């Protein structure tokens, strides 16, 4: 089955619920500088209202959600920021509403809102990361698993590839740097989708699940040179499908390859963040020295859990 490898990192978003006037709901973004307030039940389903519309779905009122990135200087950067925001709002609204939806339903809801309101072209793997976390493989069944009742909203299969105690083995072989250049990820995503309608494009897309499975097995078996090779192969297919995929990351990739590392633009490459991977941690250390005055490194740690719910009032009482 076609798998996605999910690697959860701690560059997420803090979402805080504040009281608001009765029968009103609101959302505020610190990083993007907008605030929207509306009466309950009157939120129009538009792209600009995507987060407010999520809150409205849960039929809660008198609350405003404030969002703030944990790394304010990088915004999304291709690190799944919109999926984190949508899924985090779903999780918190679900909690305040008394948990009417299951975790799988929240994943499906967050993905559908992003897709249907035109925020971005998404799957469900990033939303699953926010809910479950870890380093896993991931298979999504959009219409549920056959002969399994209660999975009609979608269901997923996940398998842990690397346990938390061994995260250091993977972390030391990964780094994320920002190119300093951004563009619209939708420009690349739309080209990739269009390629599915051609025989050549479909043939290239068809190769990707097998390469993703190779990467999955490489992580599970700690075969790091195999993982490096899989990253390069997958990246090259993306380039073949859309020539502008590497825009802004060409120089970084050239330098990385000269030191035995692979550069892989994250997301569709629009946010500017690039994953650098090496089977030899010392090569990555050398690359950091080369890049320290050229590019901004985005520090991260792997996370076994995708989200945390904190009740400030309960902490105060303690």
Tell me: the pLDDT tens digits for 191-212? 988 999 999 999 999 999 999 9
**Distance (Å, whole) CA 52 – CA 36:** 7
Where do the CATH 3.30.70.890 domains begin and end in the chain?
Answer: 167-297
* DSSP 8-class letter at 62: S
Q: Is the pLDDT of residue 8 over 80?
A: yes
Where do the CATH 3.30.230.10 domains begin and end in the chain?
Answer: 4-163
Question: Which CATH class name applies to 167-297?
Answer: alpha beta
Confidence of residue 318 (pLDDT cuts 50, 70, 90): very low
CATH number of 4-163: 3.30.230.10
Dump pLDDT digits (tens) for 29-47: 998 889 999 999 999 999 9
**Distance (Å, whole) CA 304 – CA 162:** 10
**Distance (Å, whole) CA 306 – CA 204:** 32
**Distance (Å, whole) CA 97 – CA 105:** 14
Helix (H, G, I), strand (E, B) or coil at 20: coil
Taking a C-beta distance cutoff of 8 angstroms, is the pair 14, 312 a contact? no
Confidence of residue 214 (pLDDT cuts 50, 70, 90): very high
**Distance (Å, whole) CA 280 – CA 135:** 20
Mean pLDDT score of the chain, rounded to an integer? Answer: 89
- Alpha helices in the chain, H assignment, sequence order: 50-57, 81-96, 103-116, 125-132, 167-171, 185-195, 199-221, 224-241, 250-258, 281-291, 312-317
**Distance (Å, whole) CA 168 – CA 302:** 9
């Amino acid at each position: 089955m076609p798998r996605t490898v999910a690697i959860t990192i701690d560059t997420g978003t803090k979402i805080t619920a504040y009281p608001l006037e009765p029968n009103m709901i609101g959302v505020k973004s610190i990083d993007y500088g907008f605030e929207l307030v509306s009466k309950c039940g009157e939120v129009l389903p538009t792209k600009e209202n995507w987060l407010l519309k999520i809150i409205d779905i849960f039929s809660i009122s008198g609350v405003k959600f404030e969002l703030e990135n944990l790394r304010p200087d990088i915004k999304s950067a291709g690190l799944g920021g919109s999926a984190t925001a949508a899924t985090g709002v779903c999780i918190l609204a679900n909690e305040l509403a008394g948990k009417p939806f299951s975790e799988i339903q929240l994943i499906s809801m967050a993905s559908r809102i992003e897709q249907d309101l035109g925020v971005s072209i998404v799957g469900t793997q990033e939303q699953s990361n926010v809910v479950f976390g870890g380093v896993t493989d991931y298979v999504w069944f959009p219409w549920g698993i056959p002969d399994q009742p209660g999975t009609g909203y979608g269901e997923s299969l996940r398998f842990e590839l690397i346990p938390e105690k061994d995260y250091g083995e993977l972390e030391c072989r990964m780094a994320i740097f920002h190119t300093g250049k951004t563009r619209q990820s939708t420009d690349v995503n739309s080209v990739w989708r269009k390629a599915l309608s051609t025989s050549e494009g479909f043939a290239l897309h068809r190769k990707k699940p097998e390469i993703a499975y190779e990467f999955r097995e490489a992580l599970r078996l700690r075969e790091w040179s195999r993982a490096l090779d899989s990253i390069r192969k997958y990246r090259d297919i993306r380039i073949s499908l859309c020539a502008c995929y590497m825009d802004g990351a060409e120089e970084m990739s050239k330098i990385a390859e000269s030191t035995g590392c692979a550069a892989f633009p994250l997301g569709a490459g629009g946010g500017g963040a690039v994953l650098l991977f090496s089977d030899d941690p010392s090569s990555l250390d050398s690359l950091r020295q080369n890049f320290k005055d050229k590019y901004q490194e985005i520090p991260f740690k792997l996370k076994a859990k995708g989200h945390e719910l904190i009740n400030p009032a309960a902490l105060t009482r303690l």
